[in-house]
Amino acid sequence: MATLGIPANTIAVLQKYNFTFQKKFGQNFLIDTHVLDRIISAAEITKEDCVIEIGPGIGTMTQYLAENAREVIAVEIDKALIPILQDTLSSYDNVTVINEDILKVDIQKLAEEHNGGKPIKVVANLPYYITTPIIMGLFESHVPLASITIMVQKEVADRMQVGPGTKDYGALSLAVQYYAKPEIVANVPPNCFIPRPNVGSAVIRLTRYQNPPVQVADEKFMFALIRASFNQRRKTLVNGLSNATNISVGKEQVKKVLADMGLSETIRGEALTLEQFADLADRLSGKK
Ligand code: SAM
């Protein structure tokens, strides 16, 4: 099978199968071999690796992954793509295609079955509509994970890297930075895809930390606080946390803890660093 990263070959496959793009699945297929090479090198794929690819499309990146990894598991939601993938990947015996919604797949079980529970690598040109649940799901479920190398909307990649005091700072920034080291490895313009998306994209590598950069007694409670703070972004932390339905902390309690931390009682969540959220969680849960 010809290399699909070359636009003429992608178009030939799409025509052969009379494929119609489904907007609801965020289908923008890569047609740039340089970008594909960059993703594979950034993900540092070796013949030892078991890779999960989310949304293989017609199998463009899957071919590159199959050449470089020991084993590839590709999870694709669109059943119209399955016969195409059988065709484009027919010369590889190290690829398993699963026709399923990635949000419903038990990735832990896949890692157990295909990699003996050792850390897997996730590589994807993500459907942008589910970027955040995919990333949060992978981290919070504690799937054994070495790294995630993904193409996302440029703006989302920026959000993963920023700290307090910027408008893009939010729950996603804090989750990513608690679990992994984020590095943007390429900026990718719309003309590298068919059809062209309306926004710029970026490839970001998230390398999982062995140990998070901050210590917190109750990780789940810290993320409940973070979510509550950013759900009500314009409110002060005192009001945001005491109004939240998923945590039970009182106004006076939050005020006291903020004073103990040397912070103003009118501070907003968006001004707190990860270290401060960890400290706040430990104090509010009585672990400090
Ligand atoms: N990897 C291909 C490429 O780079 O050319 C396709 C990338 S395209 C941006 C996203 C792919 O994810 C599509 O093939 C789409 O059908 C698939 N997809 C969308 N939602 C999905 C989901 N919930 N689970 C699995 N795959 C999904």
Residue 245: pLDDT over 90:
no
Q: Which whole number is the average pLDDT over 95-103?
A: 97
Query: What is the chain's mean pLDDT, rounded?
Result: 94
Residue 74: pLDDT over 70:
yes
Does the N-terminal peptide bond of residue 83 adopt cis geometry, omega within 30 degrees of 0? no
Is 165 or 8 the better-scoring residue by pLDDT? 8
Q: Write out pLDDT tens, residues 261-284.
A: 999 999 999 999 999 999 999 999
Q: From the CA of 236, how far away is ligand 1's center (Å)? A: 39
Assigned fold of 7-208: Rossmann fold (3.40.50)
Query: Looking at the domain covering 219-284, what would its CATH class be?
Result: mainly alpha
Q: From the CA of 153, how far away is ligand 1's center (Å)? A: 14
Which atom of ligand 1 is the closest one to the Cα of 102?
Answer: 24
Residue with tokens 């025509």: 15
Q: From the CA of 180, how far away is ligand 1's center (Å)? A: 23
Q: From the CA of 248, how far away is ligand 1's center (Å)? A: 39
Residue whose Cα lies nearest atom 19 of ligand 1: it is 25
- Residues in contact with ligand 1 by the CB-under-6-Å rule are 25-30, 54-57, 60-61, 75-78, 81, 101-103, 125, 127, 130
Q: Which whole number is the average pLDDT over 107-116?
A: 94
Q: Write out pLDDT tens, residues 168-221.
A: 899 999 999 999 999 999 999 999 999 999 999 999 999 999 999 999 999 999
Which atom of ligand 1 is the closest one to the Cα of 57?
Answer: 14
Q: How many angstroms separate the most distant Cα atoms in the chain?
A: 67
**Domain boundaries along the sequence of the chain:** 7-208, 219-284
Pocket test for ligand 1, best of 37, 40, 54 (most atoms within 8 A of CB): 54
Q: In this predicted structure, what is the pLDDT of residue 1?
A: 64
Residue whose Cα lies nearest atom 21 of ligand 1: it is 77
Length of the chain: 288
Which string of DSSP letters, residue by residue, matches 228-243? HHHHTTTS-HHHHHHH
Q: Which whole number is the average pLDDT over 121-137?
A: 92
Confidence of residue 167 (pLDDT cuts 50, 70, 90): confident
- For the chain, what percent of residues have pLDDT higher than 70? 100
d(CA 170, CA 12): 42
Question: Token digits for 205?
Answer: 């590598």
Paired sense of beta strands 201-208 and 180-188, if any? antiparallel
Confidence of residue 2 (pLDDT cuts 50, 70, 90): confident
